[in-house]
Amino acid sequence: MQAQVSGVLGRYTANKLGMYAWALHRLTGIGVIAFLLVHIIDTAFVMVGPELYNEAMALYKQPFFRPFEVALAAAVIYHALNGIRVTLIDFWEGAARIQERLFYGVLVLFALLFLPSAFIMLRPLFVR
Amino acid sequence: MAHGVMAPSYGYGPRPQAQTASNFELWAWLFMRISGIMLVVLALGHLAIMHVINTVDVVDYQFVVDRWTGPWSAVWRTYDALLLVLALIHGLNGVRIVVDDYVSSQAWRVFWMSLLYVGGFFFIVLGTLVIFAFTPQK
């Protein structure tokens, strides 16, 4: 039995923890590569000169941009931690059996890395 | 028939066999694992240095000059080039897998694969050129 390609989304309703881990991995991956392409372009502006590069950086320094910066950090940290989980599952049979517990481990490590980073990144917006 | 372009995955069971005998998908899978482990260090390190230890507020032209022409310039240019190339290929290969999963029309698959290869080449050349050819302007 082969499901329709459009049926892929139906798998989200299966309420299996590993599928959420997978969906988040895709979502964060797409987000990070999208920003990477923008970031390559904005960095290339250094070749044009200080004026253009500084103008581009000024855009990132706007307060409204800070939440996107925090979201980028969240995406990279989650993708890195869940990537380690996926690699463990691929190379070690024992990890596949405890993949749900490993996902909780990912979430705990995510909180430990992300929350302090987000605090440090967002604090200048509120404290002068 | 697909000529070198992946057969559609239906999301269940193993990925479809390639039409031609090739270990490309095996090497792509291995690359994702190896580059992934390296990127955990490189990308999280970059994030920590640029966004937590420093902030975007201090990043300007002079910051780039100091980083890429200072006494540690060789280290930084190598770090940045490694991060750029690994992240770009890792990310674009990820997009390739996503396209494989969701795009079933042969014409759109050819379109996406062409875009990924041409775009990937453009961004790798542009990025590495900027990292290694940068010289400060007055």
pLDDT greater than 80 at residue A99: yes
Six token digits for residue B56: 């975007």
pLDDT tens, position by position, for chain B (138 residues)? 344 556 666 667 776 666 666 788 899 999 999 999 999 999 999 999 999 999 899 999 999 999 999 999 999 999 999 999 999 999 999 999 999 999 989 999 999 999 999 999 999 999 999 999 999 986
Amino acid at A105: G
- Complete domains list, chain A, with CATH: 17-126 (1.20.1300.10)
Question: What letter does residue A98 receive in the DSSP assignment?
Answer: T
Q: What pLDDT sits at residue A11? A: 47
Residue from A4, A27, A53 whose CB has the most chain B CBs within 10 Å, to mutate: A53
Restricting to A residues 63-92, those with a Cβ less than 8 Å away from any Cβ of B are: 65, 69, 73, 76-77, 80, 83-84, 86-87, 90-91
Cβ neighbours of B59 in A, within 8 Å: 57, 60
pLDDT per residue as tens digits for the range A66-95: 999 999 999 999 999 999 999 999 998 888
Domain B24-133 has CATH 1.20.1300: yes
Six token digits for residue B118: 């041409």
Task: Judge: A73–B60 Cβ closer than 8 Å, yes or no.
Answer: no
Q: What are phi and psi of A124, to 5 degrees?
A: -60, -20
Q: How far is Cα A88 from Cα A81, in angstroms, rounded to an integer?
A: 11
